[in-house]
Structure formats: structure tokens, C-alpha cells
Amino acid sequence: MNLEAISSVRQVKQSHPQIQHANSILSSSAGYLSEYASDSSSTPSGNGYETPPSRLSTPVHRQMQMQESEMTLPARPQAAVPAPLTVGQGANGTVPPYDTLGHNRLSPPTPGVDDTPYIRFAIEQLTFDEELAGRGRHSSEVPDYSHSQQTISGQPVQTTPPQQQKQRQPPRRPLHFPRASSEQSRAKTGDIMLLPSDPPRDRHQLGFVPTPLRLISLGPLVLLCLLMMVGLIFSNIFALTNHGLYDYDGNFTPRYFVFEYLPPMLGFIIIFWLFVVQAAIYRTAPYFSMSKKTPTARRDRTLQTMPITPANFVLPDWRFFHLGEPMIGAVLTVFWLTNWTIPLLSCLYGTQWFTSVGTPRFRWTPVQGLAWFIVVQYLVLIAALIYCMIRFRRRNSALMWDPTCLADLIILFQRSNLLPDYFRSETKEDLPNDLPPRYCRLGYWTTNQSPDFFYAVGEANHPYLELSSSSDKYANEKMDSSRTSGESQEVLRNSQASSFARMLHSPWVRHRWCPWYLRDGAILAWAIAAVLLLVAFLVVSFVNHAVRGGFFAMLPARTQPNGFSPANFLFSFLPSLLGMFLFLAWQPIDVYFRAVQAYVNLSKHDGATARRSLLLSYNAQLPGVVSTKALINRDWKVAYFSFVSLMAATIPVLAGGVFTALLFANGEVRMTASMPGYIALCVLLSIYALSYLIIWPTRFRYLPHSVDSVGGNLSFLYASRLLKDSSIRNIRTKADFIARLNGRVGTTLTGDGRRAGRRTEKHVDQETKYGFGIYTGVDGKEHLGIDRMQRPGSGEMLVLTSRQNS
């Protein structure tokens, strides 16, 4: 409607009202206004009229317009309601204002009633509707005006035909409006949206890299690999020019130790160093992946599928190839291949009969081809370590400190917008498939409603919803999208809630999961196999002095010019390979007991302090240090199994160097053993085999689901009040965070900001304790997870304990 038409409408109010109706170009809201104005009139006849909409409006827009029309339409007196109206058409298609008798078909206006508010309301609805839809005057969809004509006060106002309008107006590109996502739709209603932000200058600058992944650690490791390569190359070249290295002087001398035991021992230094680097890669790889500014394919399930506990031992871990980190997968594959250099180093040197140098005698000499193969393998390892230097550097990190324990998740997720996704996830067994995919980011954030900056893991441009107001919505998202009635939805919602409550209190759900290799059947099989093999090994070794007297190799023992002897290679490589398998097979057991020890301590009936639960970081400790710290914390199984893990490294070293081929006085060549090394090997194998009898995990070490990912641990923290505690907000350093958890500063985790005195040794029993059990979450509902044992206003945590759980 243009200004000329509007002014004509105003003249109608002042002059004789004669209105001729035709096809209108009003919007759907104006059409609704016509219905509203005539809802008290009689039903129109077949010659009635209707107002076609000038454009298509979405149901959401129409519903909004209807609601606003009812709210903003001015109240009209009852006397102003028009009389029943019957409108017909003339011969020329127009609507005459008078019938054949000259009577006005419209009811006369009521004196004293001003229709100006209605006209203004219609104009406002037109303007509002066009602005809301983003179309209207700039729309490329033009209605048909070929039969439209308005006559106001006897003066016809011709509308411009569409063809002429298209000629007068420059051509415009049609506007397309994609369907808004649920997050964008909520954003229009004023939801808080997380927006990525650079670190403020007054905040802690990010870029922390764990010590094992820094240049100061990887550099010496690369140097050690280079020294091993230089030593191997030197021994090869020196042996070729000097007819071997040294004379053989028996199997009880220092030279025997140097050539048989020392090479694999040096190789194990690299292996244990790689274990430390590997553990650092596992626990930080998800956060380095989330530190990238632009999300890429296959990184939408980082939290729930990317592992954080080492698992690259007996079999290579190729999961990173499927998680958007193929180079990390390649690095871990190289690390896994390096494990098998130990059997090769065990059979690297042997004895050879030389007759060209003085008196014919046996001399130590390297296996030329094997040495060069190990050199190439270490060269590939150096390339992998150099990539780690490039990948894990400060510019690629968004970490504040090393995420080694459960407490670090509190800082990373206390203001995350991903927590509603984990609603009722603590009882789900297949957690990775139950959680929705999210392109997560780690760093500083701000919101569209506040200028404050905070540090967290979240999804960019995604609503920030509190769990207390959104948990039911997320839990019943699929149910609400169905076409069930409101009553059936309520019944189903109550059924889901009651089912979840039963699962929370079910001992079977609480103690449901542990790795397959630690289930009762698997442990029983390992124990029986280990004991039987140990008995067979001891019987074969000592009955009839089989080892002391020597035995025939059943293979040629003569050493070739390149240093290779089939008998020496087989009885050095094969025992060391079996010993390496035993060593690697124990590592997952050790890793599991380290990872779940925090939950074991939290599951005790009186809980545990932060130092013994939330701050435990056994998987991030150096080999040997774990046993010492576990003894201090009285975590006996962790201490013992960590010791066995370290002790098992001596099995492939001794097994690979204990046998050698010797020429006896009667001219026979037999395989003999170095008895001191062989006796030590038997003792170590006995300890290793009997250790399988005590690895049965107690029920405390059984959890509802796996905890080898960030999401698996977060499912036990998402509803905890620890994430909302004001005393641990704005943490700048790890030392400050640890002090607050332990109650050593002015504030403790009481939830009400009360100040507490400095902790002393006399008040250790008053230190804040935490537990793993059923607690009241931030949404006021019961959850299974980690929280303070006692919290003002919420009572004590219910820890599911019994005699069989201890």
C-alpha cells in the first residue's frame, strides 16, 4: 500500500465512505485482520470475497502474527461491529458499492467511533510482516495484479501491472532462506551463545606442552638413538676390517655381558622413554586436536572416542587413523615397531671361528645385515620424534597445564556448553555411540551477552545451556519430536526417569564394565596357562641337567662370514621375542590399574582426599616412580603391578642372551646356557606367572562403562556441583588449583564461598573428601558420579558399598 492509498483511506473517514473491494495485496496478517474484523458477521455467500496473501508466510511467522494481532489490536466497542455483509460483483468484474435499489451494502459507520487505530494497526502489520520475513518490497515474487483495482471515494487507483513493475525496477536476485538449525533458532530468542576468543592479555597465556613432548626431552632421546646408530655402524665396519671385535673368553665374563645383555638393555632405555612420550601423546592428543582453529573431518567425536590411556603394546593402536589424526597414528605405529628391536638386539652379536688371525679361535662379531636393519629402524624412529617436535609445540597447544588427572576436567569443562549432551550418560554402556557428534574447541571464549572471558572446552556458536534447565529437554529430544500426545509423552518421560533411577541404584550397572582381559574367565585362563607353562619350563630346564650339559640345536651352528648363525639366531631371537610378548602383555594390566585407582579410592565408604583421588596421575608418572608414590598412598596393587611391569623388562633381556653355541672337546656343537643368567630368568618368570593369580580386580574397579576417553570420565562429572563451585573459578596455575582442592588456602569447596583456615597436619581428617556414588546434581536430580561426600543443603553422598565390594 503506497502513501497515496493511505491518504485516500484517511479521506474516507472524513467524507462519504464508499469503498469498493477487490483482490487485495495485503499480507497474511492483513488477511487475518479481515477475518478478525468480520468474525461476528454472518457467513458470506457464494459471491463473497477473500484476500489472497501477497507472499507465502511460514507457519511460525503466521502464528507469531496471530498472537501479536490478538495482543496489540485495540479494543473496539460492541456498537462498532459491522452488520452482516453481502458483497457481489458487477458485470465488469468490479464490486459496486450500491445494490440495484441504491442501498449501501455496507452498514453505516457508527458515530463517534474512530477507525484510525485499525488502519494504523493494519499498516504496522504489513510493515512488521515484511521485515520479519525479510521479503516484501524487495521480493522477486510479485502477485498477479491484472484484475486488481481499488476505488476510494469514487477515484479509481490503478495498480501497476507486474510487467511494468519489472521494467521499472532493476532485476533482483531471488532471496533464499535456508532452514535455520535448532541452535540458530534458539539464538534468535536470546540464548547465550559461545563465541571463540583470543586469550586476553591479562589472562594466562596458553601454549603449555608436557615435558615429555618438549624439545628438552625429545632432543636427548633423538641423541640417544643417534648414538645407538653410530655404535652399530662402528661395530659393523670395525668387525669387517679387524676380523671380529674381541676374543670369546667364556659365558661368565664381562665380555659376555657386554655382547649379550648390554645391547637389549640399552634398547630398553629407549623403549621406556618412548612409553613416557607415548603416554603424554595419549593424554594430550584430544586437546591438541581441539586446539585447531578450523575443525576437519572425523574430528567430531574426539571427546568420546579418542583414547587418553596408552594402548599401543602387544598390538598396534590404529584408532587415530580413523579419528582425524593419521600422523599421530603413524607415529604410534613406529613406536610399536621399535618395541621389537629388543629381540633383534638380543641376537645381534655371536661367536665366529677365525683362522686367519694368529691362532684359530672364536671371536665376537656382529650380524651385518641385522645391524644395518636396526640402523634403518632407528632412523625411522628419529623421523617420528622430529614430527612430534613439530606437532606438539606451543603454537599448536591451547593447554594451561598438563591434563593428568580427573581434577583437570573440572577446569576444562566447568563452563562448557557440552554438558547437557551427557545427561544420564553415566549408566550407558556404549557411550561413544550414544553421545552426539560435536566439533569441540579448547581455548578462551566469550558470549553474545557478556564481555567476560573464560577458558573451557566447547562448541563454537552453540547455545550455552545450564543443565538444570535443559536436562529434560535433551533427554527427551527424540520423544518430543514424535507425534505422540502430550499425555503419552508425559507417561514416557516418567517411565524413562524411573528406569534411569533403577539403573542408578543397580549394583549390576555400577559394577558392569572392565576390560575383557581382566574378566573372570580371561584371568582364570591367563593364570592356568602361566602356571602350566612355568612348570613345564622348569621341568625341561632342570631334569637330567638338560640346560647345564647343553643340547643339540637341530640347526646349523656354523657362523657365516657375515656373522649369521642359524642356531645362535633362533635361540636368541625366539626366547627374547617370547619374553618381549610377556612384557608387553603386562602393560595394559598395569595401565588399567593405574587409571581406575582414583575411582577405587573414591568408592570407599568414607571417600578420599583430593590427593588420593582427583589428583592421582599414575599414568603420567615415570617408570619406577609409580611404585614409590603408590606405596606412599597405600595403593598396594598399583605399587606391585607397576613393579612387575618394570621387572618384566628383564625377561627378554635375559632370555635373549642366556643361550650360545659352543664347541665341546669331543667335537660336538651344543647350545649351552649361562647358568647365573638362567637361574635369574627362572626366578623372574616364576614371579611373573604367579602374579596372574592376584590380578583379579575388586568390584570397586568395575565401572558402568569405559574411562579410556575424556567423555568416559566426564560422564561422571557433568552434573557434579564441583563444576559450579565458585571457589575454583578463575584458576591461573595448577599449584593454586591443587591448593584449593586440598583446602590449603582461604577458600574450600564448600559451595558457599566460606573461608577456611590453613590446613595443618593436625587437621588432616578435616580435609575435604570426595566420593564416587549417587549424589544430587546441579539439576536437583540423582546422578552417579563424583562429588563431595558432604555438601551443605544436599546431604551425604550414597556410596554403593558392601562386603563383597571391598
- Residue 84: partners with Cβ closer than 8 Å, 6 or more residues away: 41, 42
For residues 380-409, give the mean pLDDT: 94
Give mean pLDDT, residues 45-55: 41
Give the other-Cβ count within 10 Å of 144's Cβ. Answer: 11
- CA angle 283/287/289 to nearest 5° reads 115
| SS3 label, residue 252 | coil
| Number of folded domains that form the chain | 4
pLDDT surpasses 50 at 15: no
For residue 75, the cross-strand partners are none
- Is residue 1's pLDDT more than 90? no
Residues 431 and 387 in one domain: no
714 and 796 share a domain? Answer: yes
Q: In angstroms, rounded to a whole number, what is the distance separating the alpha carbons of residues 468 and 780?
A: 7
What 545-554 contacts at long range (C-beta under 8 Å, 24+ apart), as own/partner pairs, is 547/672, 547/673, 547/675, 547/678, 548/672, 548/673, 548/675, 549/670, 550/662, 550/664, 550/670, 550/671, 550/672, 551/670, 551/671, 552/668, 552/670, 552/671, 553/661, 553/669, 553/670, 553/671
Residues 146 and 76 occupy one common structural domain: yes
Q: What's the chain's average pLDDT? A: 76
- Are residues 412 and 374 located together in one domain of the fold? no
725-761 pLDDT tens trace: 887 877 888 888 888 887 654 443 333 333 433 444 4
**Four-point Cα dihedral 62, 67, 69, 72, nearest 10:** -150
| Region 111-136 average pLDDT | 52
* Statement to judge: residues 337 and 439 lie in one domain: no
Question: CA–CA separation, 121 vs 114, rounded Å?
Answer: 13
Model pLDDT for residues 178-208, shown as the tens digit of each residue = 333 444 434 444 578 889 988 777 666 789 9
Tell me the β-bridge partners of 785. Answer: 773
The per-residue pLDDT for 762 is: 44
Q: How far apart are CA 350 and CA 235, in angstroms?
A: 13
More confident residue, 357 or 669: 669
Euclidean distance between CA atoms 86 and 83, whole angstroms: 10
Asked if residue 696 has pLDDT above 50, the reply is yes
Same domain, 487 and 539: no
Tell me which residue of 661, 630, 634, 656 sits closest to 643, measured CA to CA.
630
The Cα–Cα gap between 725 and 754 comes to: 12
Residues 494 and 617 in one domain: no
Contacts within 8 Å (CB) and 24+ apart, 67-75: 68/128, 69/29, 69/32, 69/33, 69/36, 69/125, 72/121, 72/124, 73/33, 73/36, 73/118, 73/121, 74/117, 74/118, 74/121
Asked if the structure places residue 601 within a domain, the reply is yes
Residue 400 lies in a domain: no
Angle CA 467–468–469, to nearest 5: 90
Interval 508-541: pLDDT, tens: 999 999 999 999 999 999 999 999 999 999 998 8
User: How much is the pLDDT for 472?
Assistant: 54
The residue type at 762: K
Rounded-to-integer distance, Cα 186 and Cα 750, Å: 34
* Closest by Cα among 415, 344, 402, 414 to 620: 402
Q: Residue 160 and residue 182: Cα distance in Å, rounded?
A: 41
pLDDT per residue as tens digits for the range 631-654:
999 999 999 999 999 999 999 999
pLDDT at 79: 37
Say what the pLDDT of residue 749 is: 38
Give a yes or no: residue 352 inside a domain.
yes
Task: Supply the pLDDT for residue 548.
Answer: 81
Shared-domain flag, residues 99 and 126: yes
**Confidence band for 138, pLDDT divided at 50, 70 and 90:** very low
**Which among 676, 702, 728 is the end of a domain?**
702
Check whether 151 has a pLDDT greater than 80.
Answer: no
What are the tens digits of pLDDT across the range 58-88? 444 444 444 443 433 434 444 334 444 444 4
534 and 645: one domain? yes
> What pLDDT is stored for residue 483 in this prediction?
47
Domain annotation covers residue 182: no
Element (H, E) at 37: helix 28-37
* pLDDT at 397 exceeding the cut of 60: yes
| Dihedral (CA of 797, 798, 800, 806) sign | positive
Query: Do 674 and 601 fall into the same domain?
Result: yes
pLDDT band at 793 (very low <50, low <70, confident <90, very high): low
Residue 656 confidence class, pLDDT cut points 50, 70, 90: very high
Domain assignment of residue 576, yes or no:
yes
Residues 536 and 641 in one domain: yes
pLDDT in tens, 417-438: 999 999 999 999 999 888 999 9
Model confidence at 117, in pLDDT bands (50, 70, 90)? low
Q: What is the mean pLDDT of the segment spanning 135-153?
A: 37
pTM reported for the whole predicted model: 0.73
Q: Please indicate, yes or no, if residue 468 is contained in any of the structural domains.
A: yes
In a domain? residue 398: no
Which residue type, as a one-letter code, is found at position 517?
Y
* Domain containing residue 16: 3-177
Return d(Cα 74, Cα 62) in angstroms, integer.
19
Q: Which residue has the cell 581428617?
A: 765
Contact criterion met (CB below 8 Å) for 440 and 303: yes
Query: Are 724 and 467 spatial neighbours (Cβ–Cβ below 8 Å)?
Result: no
Q: Which of 639, 668, 702 is the endpoint of a domain?
A: 702
Among the residue ranges 237-246, 320-329, 548-557, the one predicted with the least confidence is 548-557
* In a domain? residue 184: no
Amino acid at 131: E
Q: Residues 6 or more apart from 595 whose CB is under 8 A from it?
A: 309, 618, 619, 707, 708
Select from 348, 364, 393 the last residue of a domain. 393
- Strand, coil or helix: 622: coil
- Within this chain, do residues 150 and 199 fall inside the same structural domain, yes or no? no
